[in-house]
Protein backbone atom coordinates (compact mmCIF):
# COMPACT_ATOMS: atom_id res chain seq x y z
CA UNK A 1 0.00 0.00 0.00
CA UNK A 2 1.76 3.11 -1.25
CA UNK A 3 -0.82 5.69 -0.23
CA UNK A 4 -0.90 7.19 3.26
CA UNK A 5 -2.27 4.68 5.77
CA UNK A 6 -5.33 6.71 6.69
CA UNK A 7 -8.61 5.08 7.62
CA UNK A 8 -10.19 6.27 4.37
CA UNK A 9 -7.38 4.89 2.19
CA UNK A 10 -7.37 1.55 4.00
CA UNK A 11 -11.16 1.33 3.65
CA UNK A 12 -10.88 1.97 -0.09
CA UNK A 13 -8.25 -0.76 -0.48
CA UNK A 14 -10.30 -3.27 1.52
CA UNK A 15 -13.41 -2.40 -0.47
CA UNK A 16 -11.55 -3.10 -3.72
CA UNK A 17 -10.38 -6.46 -2.34
CA UNK A 18 -13.92 -7.42 -1.25
CA UNK A 19 -15.28 -6.56 -4.69
CA UNK A 20 -12.46 -8.37 -6.48
CA UNK A 21 -13.18 -11.57 -4.57
CA UNK A 22 -16.99 -11.15 -4.77
CA UNK A 23 -17.35 -11.10 -0.99
CA UNK A 24 -19.59 -8.06 -0.58
CA UNK A 25 -22.76 -10.17 -0.33
CA UNK A 26 -21.32 -12.75 2.06
CA UNK A 27 -21.28 -10.68 5.27
CA UNK A 28 -17.45 -10.56 5.48
CA UNK A 29 -15.69 -10.26 8.82
CA UNK A 30 -12.43 -8.33 8.99
CA UNK A 31 -9.84 -8.89 11.71
CA UNK A 32 -7.34 -6.10 12.38
CA UNK A 33 -5.15 -4.78 15.14
CA UNK A 34 -6.55 -2.02 17.32
CA UNK A 35 -4.85 0.93 15.64
CA UNK A 36 -7.10 3.98 15.21
CA UNK A 37 -6.74 4.02 11.40
CA UNK A 38 -7.81 0.37 11.17
CA UNK A 39 -10.83 0.91 13.41
CA UNK A 40 -11.74 3.98 11.32
CA UNK A 41 -11.48 1.96 8.09
CA UNK A 42 -13.86 -0.70 9.41
CA UNK A 43 -16.35 1.97 10.52
CA UNK A 44 -16.30 3.45 7.02
CA UNK A 45 -16.87 0.02 5.45
CA UNK A 46 -19.60 -0.86 7.95
CA UNK A 47 -18.65 -4.54 8.02
CA UNK A 48 -18.31 -6.93 10.94
CA UNK A 49 -15.05 -6.43 12.78
CA UNK A 50 -13.00 -8.40 15.29
CA UNK A 51 -10.02 -6.74 16.90
CA UNK A 52 -6.88 -8.86 17.13
CA UNK A 53 -7.05 -10.45 20.58
CA UNK A 54 -3.29 -10.96 20.74
CA UNK A 55 -2.84 -7.23 20.13
CA UNK A 56 -5.39 -6.47 22.84
CA UNK A 57 -3.44 -8.67 25.27
CA UNK A 58 -0.27 -6.81 24.31
CA UNK A 59 -1.85 -3.40 24.93
CA UNK A 60 -3.26 -4.52 28.28
CA UNK A 61 0.10 -5.91 29.40
CA UNK A 62 1.97 -2.80 28.27
CA UNK A 63 -0.48 -0.64 30.24
CA UNK A 64 0.04 -2.77 33.35
CA UNK A 65 3.82 -2.40 33.12
CA UNK A 66 3.44 1.39 33.02
CA UNK A 67 1.71 1.53 36.42
CA UNK A 68 3.95 3.62 38.71
CA UNK A 69 4.76 0.90 41.27
CA UNK A 70 5.50 -1.69 38.59
CA UNK A 71 7.48 0.71 36.42
CA UNK A 72 9.60 1.75 39.41
CA UNK A 73 10.35 -1.86 40.33
CA UNK A 74 11.28 -2.73 36.75
CA UNK A 75 13.70 0.22 36.66
CA UNK A 76 15.44 -1.04 39.78
CA UNK A 77 15.71 -4.59 38.48
CA UNK A 78 16.90 -3.30 35.10
CA UNK A 79 19.61 -1.24 36.79
CA UNK A 80 20.92 -4.26 38.70
CA UNK A 81 20.82 -6.47 35.61
CA UNK A 82 22.65 -3.83 33.57
CA UNK A 83 25.34 -3.64 36.23
CA UNK A 84 25.97 -7.38 36.00
CA UNK A 85 26.08 -7.20 32.21
CA UNK A 86 28.77 -4.51 32.18
CA UNK A 87 30.84 -5.69 35.16
CA UNK A 88 33.04 -8.71 34.47
CA UNK A 89 33.96 -8.91 38.16
CA UNK A 90 30.32 -8.98 39.27
CA UNK A 91 29.50 -11.60 36.63
CA UNK A 92 32.37 -13.77 37.82
CA UNK A 93 31.33 -13.51 41.46
CA UNK A 94 27.72 -14.23 40.47
CA UNK A 95 28.80 -17.51 38.86
CA UNK A 96 30.66 -18.47 42.04
CA UNK A 97 27.61 -17.72 44.20
CA UNK A 98 25.36 -19.67 41.81
CA UNK A 99 27.61 -22.70 42.19
CA UNK A 100 27.68 -22.39 45.99
CA UNK A 101 23.89 -22.06 46.15
CA UNK A 102 23.25 -24.84 43.61
CA UNK A 103 21.47 -22.44 41.27
CA UNK A 104 21.52 -22.73 37.47
CA UNK A 105 24.46 -20.77 36.08
CA UNK A 106 22.31 -18.61 33.85
CA UNK A 107 22.96 -15.02 32.84
CA UNK A 108 20.49 -12.39 33.95
CA UNK A 109 18.02 -11.20 31.35
CA UNK A 110 17.12 -7.62 30.50
CA UNK A 111 13.85 -6.45 29.03
CA UNK A 112 13.16 -4.90 25.65
CA UNK A 113 10.74 -1.97 25.47
CA UNK A 114 8.90 -3.31 22.42
CA UNK A 115 8.28 -6.75 23.94
CA UNK A 116 6.26 -6.74 27.16
CA UNK A 117 6.90 -10.43 27.83
CA UNK A 118 10.63 -9.67 28.06
CA UNK A 119 9.86 -7.84 31.33
CA UNK A 120 8.26 -11.04 32.60
CA UNK A 121 11.30 -13.05 31.50
CA UNK A 122 13.60 -10.57 33.24
CA UNK A 123 11.66 -10.76 36.52
CA UNK A 124 11.45 -14.57 36.44
CA UNK A 125 15.18 -14.94 35.94
CA UNK A 126 15.89 -12.30 38.60
CA UNK A 127 13.69 -14.05 41.17
CA UNK A 128 15.28 -17.40 40.34
CA UNK A 129 18.76 -15.95 40.87
CA UNK A 130 17.88 -13.57 43.73
CA UNK A 131 19.90 -15.42 46.42
CA UNK A 132 23.02 -15.39 44.23
CA UNK A 133 22.44 -11.77 43.19
CA UNK A 134 22.06 -10.66 46.81
CA UNK A 135 25.16 -12.59 47.89
CA UNK A 136 27.15 -11.08 45.03
CA UNK A 137 26.12 -7.50 45.74
CA UNK A 138 27.02 -7.98 49.42
CA UNK A 139 30.44 -9.47 48.67
CA UNK A 140 33.38 -7.13 49.53
CA UNK A 141 34.97 -7.23 46.06
CA UNK A 142 31.75 -6.03 44.42
CA UNK A 143 30.69 -3.59 47.14
CA UNK A 144 33.95 -1.70 46.79
CA UNK A 145 33.17 -0.81 43.18
CA UNK A 146 29.41 -0.31 43.46
CA UNK A 147 28.50 0.94 46.92
CA UNK A 148 25.13 2.51 46.04
CA UNK A 149 23.69 -0.55 44.29
CA UNK A 150 21.38 -2.58 46.53
CA UNK A 151 19.31 -5.63 45.78
CA UNK A 152 15.55 -5.74 46.24
CA UNK A 153 13.88 -5.69 49.64
CA UNK A 154 11.55 -8.47 50.79
CA UNK A 155 8.60 -6.22 49.93
CA UNK A 156 10.02 -5.69 46.44
CA UNK A 157 10.42 -9.45 45.99
CA UNK A 158 6.78 -9.96 46.96
CA UNK A 159 5.66 -7.36 44.41
CA UNK A 160 7.84 -8.94 41.73
CA UNK A 161 6.33 -12.36 42.47
CA UNK A 162 2.83 -10.87 42.22
CA UNK A 163 3.69 -9.28 38.86
CA UNK A 164 4.97 -12.60 37.53
CA UNK A 165 1.86 -14.36 38.81
CA UNK A 166 -0.41 -11.84 37.06
CA UNK A 167 1.49 -11.77 33.76
CA UNK A 168 1.96 -15.52 33.33
CA UNK A 169 -1.62 -16.12 32.13
CA UNK A 170 -1.21 -13.22 29.68
CA UNK A 171 1.91 -14.80 28.21
CA UNK A 172 0.22 -18.19 27.92
CA UNK A 173 -2.80 -16.61 26.23
CA UNK A 174 -0.55 -14.72 23.81
CA UNK A 175 1.18 -17.96 22.82
CA UNK A 176 -2.18 -19.61 22.20
CA UNK A 177 -3.34 -16.68 20.04
CA UNK A 178 -0.07 -16.72 18.09
CA UNK A 179 -0.83 -20.17 16.68
CA UNK A 180 -0.29 -20.21 12.92
CA UNK A 181 -1.41 -23.72 11.97
CA UNK A 182 -5.01 -23.41 13.24
CA UNK A 183 -7.73 -20.78 13.39
CA UNK A 184 -7.87 -19.19 16.84
CA UNK A 185 -11.12 -17.22 16.54
CA UNK A 186 -13.12 -19.80 18.50
CA UNK A 187 -10.59 -19.65 21.34
CA UNK A 188 -11.07 -15.95 22.10
CA UNK A 189 -14.26 -16.18 24.22
CA UNK A 190 -13.19 -19.04 26.51
CA UNK A 191 -9.67 -17.64 26.77
CA UNK A 192 -10.99 -14.21 27.69
CA UNK A 193 -13.27 -15.73 30.32
CA UNK A 194 -10.42 -17.77 31.79
CA UNK A 195 -8.14 -14.71 31.93
CA UNK A 196 -10.78 -12.69 33.77
CA UNK A 197 -11.24 -15.51 36.28
CA UNK A 198 -7.50 -15.81 36.89
CA UNK A 199 -7.15 -12.03 37.24
CA UNK A 200 -9.87 -12.00 39.88
CA UNK A 201 -7.76 -14.38 41.96
CA UNK A 202 -4.75 -12.04 41.53
CA UNK A 203 -6.62 -8.79 42.16
CA UNK A 204 -6.12 -8.90 45.90
CA UNK A 205 -2.37 -9.22 45.55
CA UNK A 206 -1.53 -7.02 42.54
Spatial distance between the Cα atoms of 19 and 12, rounded to a whole number of angstroms: 11
Cα separation, 26 vs 18, in Å, equals: 10
User: What is the pLDDT, as a whole number, of residue 11?
Assistant: 96
Q: How many distinct structural domains can be found in the chain? A: 2
Is 165 found in the same domain as 94?
yes
Residue 139 lies in a domain: yes
Give the Å distances, CA to CA, from 92 to 31, 68, 96, 97, 133. Answer: 50, 33, 7, 9, 11
Query: Which domain covers residue 93, as residue numbers?
Result: 58-177
Q: Which residues contact 80 (CB under 8 A, 6 or more apart)?
A: 108, 126, 133, 137, 149, 151, 152
Cα distances (Å, whole numbers) of residue 152 to 78, 81, 110, 192: 11, 12, 16, 33
Say whether both 28 and 69 belong to one domain.
no
- Say what the pLDDT of residue 204 is: 55
Question: Quick one: 24 and 120 in the same domain?
Answer: no
CA distance 111 to 74: 9
Mark whether 28 and 116 lie in a shared domain: no
46 Ramachandran zone, left/alpha/beta (phi>0; psi -120 to 50): left
* Together in a domain, 106 and 153: yes
CA distance linking residue 48 with residue 105, whole number of Å = 51
Q: What is the pLDDT of residue 38?
A: 95
Query: Which helix (H) or strand (E) segment is 73 a member of?
Result: helix 68-86
Q: Report the distance separating Cα 183 and Cα 186, nearest Å.
A: 7
Report yes or no on whether pTM surpasses 0.85. no
Q: Is residue 81 located within the same domain as residue 148?
A: yes
Say which residue, 147 or 162, is predicted with more confidence.
162
pLDDT tens sequence across 96-146: 999 999 999 999 999 987 788 999 999 999 999 999 999 999 888 887 766
Q: In the prediction, which pLDDT does 26 show? A: 87
Nearest partner of 130 among 76, 185, 178, 196, judged by Cα: 76
* Span 27-56, pLDDT tens digits: 888 989 889 999 999 999 999 998 889 888
Q: What is the pLDDT of residues 62-106, one digit of tens each?
A: 999 999 999 999 999 999 999 999 999 999 999 999 999 999 999
Q: Is the pLDDT of residue 202 over 70?
A: no
User: Quick one: CA torsion of 67, 69, 73, 74, rounded to 10 degrees?
Assistant: 0
Indicate whether 4 pLDDT > 80. yes
Task: Identify the band that residue 12 occupies on the pLDDT scale cut at 50, 70 and 90.
Answer: very high
Strands 29-32 and 48-51: parallel
Is residue 58 scored above 70 in pLDDT?
A: yes
* 94 in the same domain as 73: yes
Compute the distance between CA of residue 95 and CA of residue 73 in angstroms, rounded to an integer.
24
Return the C-alpha torsion angle 150, 152, 154, 156, nearest 10: 140
Amino acid sequence: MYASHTGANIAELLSEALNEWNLTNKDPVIITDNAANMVCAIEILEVSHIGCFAHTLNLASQSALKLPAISCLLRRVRRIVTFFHRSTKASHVLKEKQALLNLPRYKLKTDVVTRWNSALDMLERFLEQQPAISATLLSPEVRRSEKDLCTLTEADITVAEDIVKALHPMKSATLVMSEEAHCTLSVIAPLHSQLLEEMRHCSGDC
